[in-house]
Amino acid sequence: MTFQAVFGSEPDVIAAAPGRVNVIGEHIDYSDGFVLPFAISNRTTVSIKKRADKKIRLASAQRQSSLFETSIDELKPGTEGKWELYPLGVIWALGIKDGLDIYVDGKVPLGAGLSSSAALECSVATALNQLFQLSHDVKDLARLTQKAENDFVGMPCGIMDQSISLMGKSGHALLLDCRDLSTKLVPMDLAASDLELLIIDTQAHHSLVDGGYAERRAACESASAKLGKSMRELNVQELEANKAKLTDTEYRRARHAVSEIARVLDCVKALETKNFVGAGQLINQSHISLRDDYNVSCPELDVAVEASLSTGALGARMVGGGFGGSAIALINQSDIVSTKSAIKKAFAENGFKEPRFFQSLPSAGAEIITGLE
């Protein structure tokens, strides 16, 4: 199916935006930390045409049997819907008042923690910014797409996913400061060093029985209050010296946050000098910290990491919220087949569901493919 097959005309503008993977910097966005994601090669493409009325029609290559219809005048937070809420939220956040025909073709895998929602939001925002000559820069669009997801869809996400989807650059990761939202491109030309990032979707999803994220965030905030410093201002030595002031849980949660913030900055230095072995070691340390101090890993993630390292990966770790989802492994391109095989074998031996694999090099961010000049 194409835009023309669904709507009987050609679109005014076509744009695309990628999903993302976070190299390092996990569970520290809410502690004023840093994150280091890159844009993956999998992208969502959106084709849009302006209408003469107020009607919005949405179709998707992945859901060919359904055509969603609503009106500009009916857009408001709390609107009922599923995937349609993401493009509708962007239309609402950008203040568009014209009717639209929209066709979506999503190639970012769903449910793998690769931010398919941000890819959809950012492709729509990029297309509308061009179509209506809104002149928003990428930082504006990042804030507006985050607003769409927070206020319209009702998902309290941070701004990392939208930022990297809009600002990604081929051969680079993006250092994002979660305190002031400043960014810096960091060279990460894996291909030139015959390396690849393997993304392992464990297909495991464990529910949190202990209050999960809220408990962890509260422990970091409590430690910060007791020590009179933010996680960002503390270092591991200070934390160690004041260990007696904290409960064991507060200490371990804070140790993850403080050490992970330092690891992100050390990883940037390693990448800037093409020290991929050093970067890999930091990725390994991140996993150990998430597993032992933050307690957000699970058997499937641990097995994926261990199997990757057993076949020569430079580094491997769980990514995302934890308790399932995906892991990443920084590997030599020549080891792709053997690494996948080792992980599959280990999963089978443990009675786990067969994992899915994706490969990516750091890729470009959102772009206009064709549209009004």
> Which sequence positions are flagged as catalytic?
161
Please tell me what DSSP assigns to residue 201: E
- 52, two tokens: 């003469």
Closest CA to 318 of 340, 285, 345: 285
Is residue 331 within 8 Å of 363, Cβ to Cβ? no
Report CA Rg, the chain. Answer: 21
Element (H, E) at 184: strand 183-187
Q: Give a three-class secondary structure readout of 132-174.
A: CCCCCCHHHHHHHHHHHHHHHHCCCCCCHHHHHHHHCCCCEEE
Distance separating alpha carbons of residues 249 and 243, to the nearest angstrom = 11
Nearest-10 crossing angle of helices 116-131, 85-93: 40
Residue 261: C-alpha distances to residues 113, 282, 310, 312, 360 (Å): 21, 11, 27, 26, 25
Angle at 115 between CA 348 and CA 75, to 5 degrees: 135
- 72, two tokens: 């500009």
Is residue 160 within 8 Å of 145, Cβ to Cβ? no
